[in-house]
Chains A and B, each alone.
Chain A
Amino acid sequence: MICKVEKIIQETPDVRTYRLKFKDDSLTDKFDWMPGQFVEFSLLGSGECTFCIASSATRKGTFDCSIKRAGIVTADIHRDLEEGDEVGIRGPYGNWFPVEELKGKNLLFVGGGIGLAPLRSLIQYAIDNRADFADFTILYGARTSADICYKEEVEEWKNNKSLKVVLTIDKPEDTWKEHVGVVPKILEEVVKPVIENTKVITCGPPIMIKYTLMSLDKLGFNPTDVITTLEMKMQCGLGKCGRCNIGSTYVCKDGPVFTYEELSKLPDEF
């Protein structure tokens, strides 16, 4: 399927959000997805990459992929892809956040850096269905204030009275008025979440995930109540090419969304 790049938003020095619209209008209605699913994104000639859909289907018409310049194809995307250009899209693939299970629960989002992208699809979904959920907290950390993604939208979230938003950066900056310190520390010292009836949804760099899971464990969260989405090298997205295998699991089909409990049963390979 061919999509047109409708808008490019420079989120941070190395992250851009590409807002995509189907060239064939009839696909816009047919293309439906759940928060947490991903697409295969082709810059034809450079290759194909896996990106989560960073927006919710409750805001249809377009969808977003937030892309960090990290490898060969993403460097080409940042360099060559301009508004109005066309890209190839396959998908949506993978499983999604268990939205039915989350209904009536307190939601605690813990995100770091570009890890906010997959959470954003669920955050938007939950804001658009706000009545379905109880307390709503977003803890988001980045290395520096410049590395915060979706700055305008984060401001909107802060102004939204029905959400609690806690922001943090790793080191102090002169103009920074929010918290300073790594995510797990702020989680324990500032957010101090209630455990009762709360589901945690987390995504971020491996090191943040590692320590956040330790903190959640220390706070007393049950591993079945902690949900994350895995990053794994993928190519086909169809459970064939073998790249995303962890044990007998295909991350592209059985994931990328897993609970901490499910992850702890897999061979230690991520």
Chain B
Amino acid sequence: MNLTTYSTDPAGLQSFYEAIISAHDTYAPVEKFGKYDFIKVDALSSCNPDSPIPKTMSVKPLFFPKSARVMKYKATSEGTELSDTEGDPLAGKRVVLGVKHCDARGLQVLDAVYKWDYVDTDYEKRRENTILISTRCNEASTHCFCTSLDYDVEKLDAFDVAVINGLDGKIYLQARTEKGEFFLKENANGLTVANGSAQEEMKQQFEKFAGSFRLKMDYSEINEKMKGRFDSAVFEDIPANCVSCNTCAFVCPTCHCFKISDEKLKDEGVRYKSYDSCNNVYFTLMAGGHNPRPVKYRRWRQRAMHKFVYYKERFDMNLCVGCGKCTISCPVNISIFEVVNRVASSMQE
């Protein structure tokens, strides 16, 4: 299928956004206390699709909520009754504006685990019913290293519509998936199909963007080297300051570990699925007291190895998209970029 690119200007983009917000359930980055979170909006003035990357939380909670009800139960005189929870608030048709490249890529990484073997149907439905429209990524921020990982921003099909700056104040809207193509066609009011120079202009834009990265690494070399670094002494050294707050996992677009817990009130109760993290000491603690990862460095080793070795072995993707969110949010400034580079370049004991 041919994917179309449309052309517009800043004012046209504003009206495109406004038209979407008035016609669809729309989520976009909304500022609160200096940070941006993706929430439902009803006017463009209340949100900012071009919110700064370091200050914007991941879109992950729109697909994998921090805490979700999965089941209800009730004890009656007839016995126990199980029931589904009332409607999923995230299951309807919706559009998300201002999705960062790294974030969208994170969803592709989550697809792999949620759709292998047993399919998480709640997750699948939320994904299917969502149109993702990208932000304009013009410049890398301090901790960004998305271009170092195994994907190409220029061809990224993780979102349905890419929004890209052209030359002389022009803005291009490019369909990246079939879903995006249909969506753009339906909402193309006021947009014109781009002419031949669009491709060249976007390419220049990408090159400028790619050149703005402070952090760069060769991921395939990292993958290969880390395979043999399970016993690296660097693991014992790096997380010394870690306070095990788990923030890195909660803000990560790819971390997907969860826990299942029950909440009971008299004869009724709800079962929840909530975020958890391998940095949590209780994560692998078994009844009876045995814990295969009783100390911090082993949990950190699991985190780093899972991201750059194990997930790659299993699903052929890194469990990291180079967004830098964990580093920005870490209270003790641990950088995953630095961790994996130090581990990879350490000598095997």
- Residue B32 CB within 8 A of the other chain: no
Contact yes or no, B287 A240, CB < 8 A? no
A206 to B287, CA, bound (A): 14
Q: How many A-B residue pairs have CB under 8 A?
A: 102
Whole-angstrom CA separation of A23 from B309 in the bound complex: 45
Cβ distance A22 to chain B, nearest Cβ, rounded Å: 12
C-alpha gap A70/B286 in the complex (Å): 9
Q: Chain B residues with Cβ under 8 A from A268's Cβ?
A: 230
Contacts A232-B292, A233-B286 known; A240 to B258 CB distance under 8 Å?
Answer: yes
Expressed in whole angstroms, the Cα–Cα distance for A243 and B261 within the complex equals: 14
Q: For residue B310, which residues in chain A have a CB less than 8 angstroms away from its CB?
A: 245, 247-248
Across the interface, do A2 and B80 meet the contact criterion of CB distance under 8 Å? yes
How many chain A residues sit at the interface, stated as a range, is: 35 or more
A45 CA / B264 CA spacing, docked (Å) = 5
Among B109-117, B150-158, B198-206, B207-215, the one that faces the other chain is: B109-117
Task: State the Cβ distance, B82 to closest chain A Cβ, in Å.
Answer: 7
In the complex, what's the smallest C-beta–C-beta distance from B270 to chain A, in angstroms?
A: 10
B299-349 interface with A by 8 A CB criterion: 302, 305-306, 309-311, 313-314
Q: How far is the CA of A124 from the CA of B291 in the complex (A)?
A: 31
Q: A47-B262, A267-B305 are in contact. Are A243 and B284 (CB under 8 A)?
A: yes
Known: A45-B269, A238-B117. A71 touches B292 (CB 8 A): no
* Binary contact readout B43-84 vs A (1 if CB under 8 angstroms, 0 otherwise): 000000000000000000000000000000101000110100
Q: Once the chains bind, are A44 and B269 in contact (CB under 8 Å)?
A: yes
What does DSSP make chain B's interface, helix, strand, loop or mixed? mixed
Which residues of A have CB within 8 Å of B306? 242, 245
Q: In the assembled complex, which residues on chain B have CB atoms less than 8 Å from the CB atom of A23?
A: 79
Q: Within the complex, what minimum Cβ distance (angstroms) separates A42 from chain B?
A: 8
The reply on B260 being an interface residue by CB < 8 A is: yes
Total number of B residues with any Cβ neighbor in A under 8 Å: 41
Q: How many angstroms between the C-alpha atoms of A48 and B264 in the bound complex?
A: 13
Question: Which of A45, A68, A238, A242 counts the most B-chain CB atoms under 10 A from its CB?
Answer: A242
A38 vs B73: C-alpha distance in the bound complex, in angstroms?
23
Question: Which residues of chain A are within 8 angstroms of B230 by Cβ–Cβ distance?
Answer: 267-268
Contact of A240 among B79, B113, B309 (CB under 8 A): B113
Bound form: Cα–Cα A105–B261 in Å: 44
User: A45-B264, A245-B306, A269-B292 given. 19 additional CB < 8 A pairs?
Assistant: A42-B262, A44-B80, A46-B262, A48-B260, A49-B287, A72-B287, A74-B287, A232-B284, A235-B259, A240-B256, A240-B258, A242-B278, A243-B284, A245-B310, A247-B310, A247-B313, A267-B305, A268-B230, A269-B302
- Report which A residues bind B (CB closer than 8 A): 2, 23, 42, 44-49, 68, 70-74, 86, 88, 206, 231-233, 235-236, 238-243, 245-248, 253, 267-270
Sample (6) of A-B pairs whose CB atoms are under 8 Å apart: A2-B80, A70-B287, A70-B288, A235-B259, A238-B118, A239-B118
